[in-house]
Amino acid sequence: MSDPDRTPRPAIDADQLPRPAADPGRVPLARFLPSTNAEGPGERTAIWVQGCSIRCPGCFNPHMWGFHPADPVATADLAARILATGTAGLTLLGGEPFDHAAPLAEVAGAVAEAGRSVMTFTGYTTAQLHRAVDQGRADVRALLDATDLLVAGPFLADRLDAVRPWVGSTNQEFLLLTDRFPEMLDALGETPDRLEITVTADGSIAVNGWADPATLEALLADLDARRGGIQRL
């Protein structure tokens, strides 16, 4: 029997809007990475949320689709934890950040107020996000307001992007919502993808960043044969 939490949607629904967060005061945290150079410009803190209603076929994180509780963290506590890292900014991934817009807007707002940058990945298109705002979704508006760099659009497995960093498919858009990264769009073709491998305290291996599917699968197979216990991120 297939796991309903890991069943991709057969097609992208252009009319779908972000799902309201279950708890606006707590973030369902799937992973916290204190420091990374593979999830956006410069050294950043990255967090992945648990729960995605888009479920793109071919997604590398299907274990983060289900909306079951992961590690819910109070927004103030999570913001303090992020700021304590001393990195240049925060990257929001998932899961789907805009399905948790209310608590993430609180966290991202605190990071922005501290003078650090915020990068947000979403599988929703800009048209879907704007439609949500037009329909009165203050949580979506607040997360957009706290974001400097937005990467928008679903992952399409038949349109792999081998040129731009951080994204998986050519349909995904980079949108500068502030003037923090004025030259970034011109430099995307010169910015390499990175893949990071972390050995955790219990000996398991976590992978984050981006590589083409064939390279990534070969790497994971090799690591699995050597150590086992791979956590795909």
What is the tens place of the pLDDT at every residue in 116-140? 999 999 999 999 999 999 999 999 9
Higher pLDDT, 21 or 5: 21
229 and 116 housed in the same domain: no
Q: What does the pLDDT average to over 94-118?
A: 97
CA distances in angstroms from 97 to 46, 140, 147, 164, 191, listed in the order given: 12, 10, 12, 21, 24
> Strand, helix or coil at 116?
coil
183 and 208 housed in the same domain: no
52 and 144 housed in the same domain: yes
Q: Which domain holds residue 32?
A: 4-192
If one counts the domains in the chain, the total is 2
Place of tokens 């003078």: 115
95 and 199 housed in the same domain: no
145 and 218 housed in the same domain: no
Predicted pLDDT at 1? 43
How far apart (Å, rounded) are the C-alpha atoms in residues 106 and 103?
Answer: 5
156 and 50 housed in the same domain: yes
24 and 105 housed in the same domain: yes
The full DSSP string for 25-84 is TEEEEEEEEEEESSSSSSSEEEEEES--SS--TT-S-GGG---S--EEEEHHHHHHHHHT
How far apart (Å, rounded) are the C-alpha atoms in residues 192 and 166?
Answer: 9
DSSP state of 227: T
**pLDDT tens sequence across 175-217:** 999 998 877 676 666 666 666 666 666 666 666 666 656 666 6
Higher pLDDT, 226 or 101: 101
Predicted pLDDT at 198? 64
Predicted pLDDT at 223? 65
Instruction: Enumerate the β-bridge partners of residue 44.
Output: 36, 89
